[in-house]
């Protein structure tokens, strides 16, 4: 969704975000990012709900001059997720929904194995690298938006992402 569509064009305030629209366009992305970073679905749900509530309460503080609404929202989500990480005392455990391999149909079995391989590779990444992957491929943010969220330059985002993708590919034993 375009930024112009997300930002409310002056109903109450020139820069006040249209929260309803932002929520609808970002709910699943926010959850995906939180789950990708935290690797805990229950915690990701908590973080997603808390982040949206925090964003709702702070919506009048959004300033379009300082970045896009999505970058602003993901900044809030990131803080909530990092607070959650801090609370859990570095124990970010993977708790994805267990899948019985036998129940998976034969044509999908390869795909399922590939998924498991990818999950394992993601788990080996550092949290900072996993965060970049989550922002890029789970949340669908551009490099510029990621740069705003993480607080580094867009070119640095690109470099780190490339390096992270190489790591992932190596960790997947050449499956990609």
Partner 1 sequence: MDRSSDQSNLATALAEARPTPREDFAEELDERVAAGFPRRPRASGTPLSGLADRLRGLSPQRLLFATGAGALAAIAVATVIVASQGPNSRPPTLNSHALQPDWRGVQFEPPAKDSSGGTAIHAPAGVAGAASGASESSGAQYGSALESAPTESPPAAAISGRAHRDIERSAEIGLLADPADVADDSAAVFNAVHDAHGIVLHSTTTSGKRAGADFDLLIPSARLGDALAAFSTIDEVGSRHEATEDITAPTVSVSEKLRDSRARIDGLLAQLSTAETETEMSAIEAELDRERHHASQLRSQLDKLEQRTEFSRVSVRIKTGTSSTDSGGSWGIDDAFGDAGHILGIAAGVTLIGLAVLGPLTLIALLAWLAQRTWVRAQRRRGLRDA
Q: Which residues bind partner 1 (CB under 8 A)?
A: 13, 19-20, 23, 27-28, 31-32, 35-36, 41, 44-45, 48-49, 52-53, 56-58, 60-61, 79, 82-83, 85-86, 90, 92, 96, 114-115, 118-119, 122, 126-128, 131, 133, 137-138, 165, 168-169, 172, 176
CB of 1 to partner 1, least distance (A): 16
> Which are the contacts of 119, defined by CB distance < 8 A and separation ≥ 6?
94, 96
The answer to whether 28 touches 48, Cβ cutoff 8 Å, is no
Which one, 9 or 176, has the nearer CB to partner 1? 176
How far is it, in rounded angstroms, from Cα 61 to Cα 77? 16
CB of 130 to partner 1, least distance (A): 8
The answer to whether 130 touches 37, Cβ cutoff 8 Å, is yes
CB of 154 to partner 1, least distance (A): 18
How far is it, in rounded angstroms, from Cα 127 to Cα 38? 8
Least Cα distance to 31 among 118, 123, 128, 134 occurs for 134
Which one, 137 or 142, has the nearer CB to partner 1? 137
Which one, 41 or 144, has the nearer CB to partner 1? 41
Which one, 35 or 71, has the nearer CB to partner 1? 35
CA angle 44, 45, 49 (to 5 degrees): 115
Which one, 115 or 154, has the nearer CB to partner 1? 115
């Amino acid at each position: 969704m375009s930024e112009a569509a997300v930002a409310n064009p002056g109903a109450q305030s020139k820069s006040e975000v249209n929260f309803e629209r932002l929520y609808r366009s970002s709910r699943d992305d926010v959850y995906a990012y939180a789950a990708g970073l935290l690797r805990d679905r229950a915690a990701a749900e908590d973080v997603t709900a808390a982040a949206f509530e925090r964003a709702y309460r702070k919506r009048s503080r959004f300033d379009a001059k300082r970045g896009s609404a999505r970058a602003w929202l993901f900044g809030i989500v990131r803080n909530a997720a990092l607070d959650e990480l801090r609370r859990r005392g570095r124990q970010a455990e993977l708790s994805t929904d267990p899948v019985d391999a036998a129940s998976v149909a034969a044509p999908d079995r390869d795909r399922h194995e590939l998924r498991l391989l990818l999950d394992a590779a993601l788990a080996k990444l550092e949290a900072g690298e996993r965060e970049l992957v989550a922002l890029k491929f789970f949340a669908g943010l551009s490099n510029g938006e990621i740069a705003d969220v993480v607080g580094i330059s867009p070119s640095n985002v690109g470099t780190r992402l490339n390096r992270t993708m190489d790591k992932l590919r190596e960790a997947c034993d050449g499956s990609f």
